[in-house]
Each structure stands twice: as structure tokens, then as C-alpha cells.
Amino acid sequence: MMEDKEIKAEKDSKLVEDERNEEVKNENPISQIDGAKATKIVKDYLEQNFGNVGMLHYRIEDLTKNGDKTQFYVICSLLSSFGSQERLYYKIKVNVEDGGILEVWKSKPSKEDEEQITLTRVKFQEK
């Protein structure tokens, strides 16, 4: 009889542990690795458009997580043309889970010290 209680208690504790593990799997926390994936997706996208020379002065301005656990907004900039002092600013929404780009906004060539930069949404087709 004592063994039955011990077996039942062991099964109950294993069930509780399995439920906790399932909750952790469902949470799928965002890590720094996901942020790195998001910036890599954006860099690859821009490199397809500007080539590797156009990406020489590429930089990440900001990285923020969207409300969705797998989506980020990456704000970055690069020189508008070789030798130019003006930069193009991009705000790109990416999904790190599937590697897709969801939305793209772009500025007109702007000086770095401008206080306000206007972004316009870009229509694009993902390959």
C-alpha cells in the first residue's frame, strides 16, 4: 500500500514537471540570437539591393521587438551613394521564425544631423 502511494506521488510530480516543461516550450523567449538573426535578414535584403560596396557604411541604428514574439523592427542606415555624406534610413519589420521581411520603410537621402526623418512605406516583393 505504501508503494502504491509512492508510485502515485512520483507520477503526480512527473506530470507537474511535464506541464512546467510544456509551458516553457510554449513561451519561446526571445534571445539575443533572435536579434542577431533579424539584423542578418535585413543586411542580406539590403545587400541584394545595393551590393556589397553599397553596404560598406551600413549600420544598425535601433532594434526593437514588435508585440509578436518572433518579429522585430530593425532601423538601419547606409550611405545613399558612394562618397555621399547623406544616408538612407530604413525601418524593416522582420519575422525571425521564418526569415521573412514583412514591411519596409525608407527615407529620402538625409543628413545625419537632421532632427526629423520621414519614412515612406516601400512596396516590395519577397523572393
Q: Please report whether residue 20 resides in a domain.
A: no
Q: Read off the pLDDT of residues 1-52 as tens digits, 9 standing for 90 and up.
A: 555 555 554 555 554 455 555 444 444 444 678 889 999 999 999 999 888 8
Answer yes or no: is 68 within a domain. Answer: yes
Torsion sign (Cα): 12, 15, 17, 19:
negative
Q: How far apart are CA 33 and CA 35, in angstroms?
A: 5
Could you give the maximum distance between any two Cα atoms of the chain, in Å? 84
pLDDT of residue 24: 42
Mind listing the pLDDT tens digit for each residue in 50-60? 888 888 889 99
Asked whether the beta carbons of 65 and 71 are under 8 A apart, the reply is yes
The CATH number given to whatever domain includes residue 94 is 3.10.450
10: in domain: no
Burial degree of 101 (CB within 10 A; 0-12, 13-18, 19+): middle
Give the number of domains in the chain.
1
Q: Domain range for residue 101?
A: 32-122
Whole-model pTM: value is 0.70
